[in-house]
Amino acid sequence: MKVKVISRSTDEFTRERSNDLQRVFRNFDPSLRTQEKAVEYVRALNAAKMDKIFARPFVGAMDGHIDSVSCMAKNPNHLKGIFSGSMDGDIRLWDIASRRTICQFPGHQGAVRGLTASTDGRILVSCGTDCTVRLWNVPLATGMESDDLSDNSAKQLAVYVWKNAFWAVDHQCDGNLFATAGAQVEIWDHNRSQPVNSFEWGKDTVISVRFNPGEPNVLAISASDRSIAIYDLRMSSPTTKTKTNSISWNPMEPMNFTAFLLLEILDYVWWGLTVLLLHDIVIGCSAFLLAFWHANEDCNCYSYDARKLDEAKCVHKDHVSAVMDIDYSPTGREFVTGSYDRTITIFQYNGGHSREIYHTKRMQRVFCVKFSCDGSYVISGSDDTNLRLWKANASEQLGVLLPREPKNHEYREAVKNHYKHLPEVKRIVR
């Protein structure tokens, strides 16, 4: 007869130090733990309550601009770097960790309307209402770690003067091309002073342009006549066209993109500029999300299935005014929106209601929002000249964690998601 015995190594349950916790081996047989579901339900309630108690999303503000922050761009080469441009022509590179300016890029004589960085993070492309496109040499990432930034000053590589103002710019994901939006769409090369290609659809101003992250030769543009066109650089005409106003591709599902639909034009006089109400569309592979925020009506977002357009598949609610900018998280499962109603909202890509709504008393109309490169933080730029840093997860604990703390957080999140359909847990979470 064979007898199997339990054998454990002494290293598994022997404490290294006298003040260490004694490891306990537990038997998870449900017949021996009859109250396990009740205990887990209470733990789920406590986890939901603790998320609300410890929700401190605001990390800090980055001040330095003297005019409204109009656009931002992430630095693909450095996790902590982000670029910002303001209405007075000032461009800055920020270190998110220390929340300070690394260097400035002086040169624009008008409002900076678009910023983008090359894939390697070495070149910054900016455009504005002064009819110029400027290429900048980005300081090395090592300069962010030092206090002496005298050798990391911004160097202007090239200036392209054009006949029309620019409203947006985006760099090709893999290559030396970048596209600008204005009276028409121009395709530029780093090594040439004239556009290598030009696209035009109608006579209205193009206000947004985005390259597809999965296919470098495909880009989508939107114009002020509520139209969107998808171009292939290998063709001379648009691939398709629909009505929209601003675009953001899903980084994990390149066939999906998010854009703002202009359903109604309402004029806001703001320092001599006419601000248009922007709205939102999310288009998916088998379904597309038609989302719009209206300042005077129901302020809802509507999700439609492309195979059945006679009724909404999902309604997304929470904004009460125009949405000005949107950006996907690196995972593609969430997107953040900045609105004219002075709030920042984080949505699940398929969620009916927002997961989080951030706002402060001093924050004014939000013009641009970005997820950090690791998806842990959200950066917003607003009319009050400040950039603000927020946690993507409002109750996330910052700083160095003990080895047991991440496991504890994962367990609490697991039990909360397991019982999230129950009324009491759902009420606390909402």
Task: Provide the pLDDT for residue 304.
Answer: 53
Choose among 170, 173, 333: nearest CA to 247: 170
Instruction: Provide the pLDDT for residue 383.
Output: 92
Which pLDDT tens digit goes with each residue over 145-161? 544 444 445 788 889 88
Q: What is the spatial distance between Cα 32 and Cα 42, in angstroms, rounded to a whole number?
A: 19
**How far, in Å, CA of 50 to CA of 40, rounded?**
15
Grouping H, G, I as helix, E, B as strand and the rest as coil, residue 255 is coil
pLDDT at 219: 82
- For residue 161, list its beta bridge partners: 132
* Helices assigned H by DSSP within 183-249: none
Half-sphere exposure of 275 (CA within 13 A, CB side): 18
Instruction: Map tokens 């601000």 to a residue.
Output: 275
pLDDT at position 414 is 94
pLDDT of residue 377: 93
- Sign, Cα dihedral of 120, 61, 107, 166: positive
Phi-psi region of 56 (alpha: psi -120 to 50; beta: other; left: phi over 0): beta
Query: What pLDDT is attached to residue 419?
Result: 93
* DSSP collapsed to 3 states, 307-322: CECCCCCEEEECCCCC
> What is the number of H-type helices and E-type strands within the chain?
4, 32
CB-based burial label for 76 (10 Å; 0-12, 13-18, 19+): middle
pLDDT less than 50: residues of the chain:
142-143, 146-152, 240-245, 258-298, 306, 309
Do 233 and 217 touch, CB atoms closer than 8 A? yes
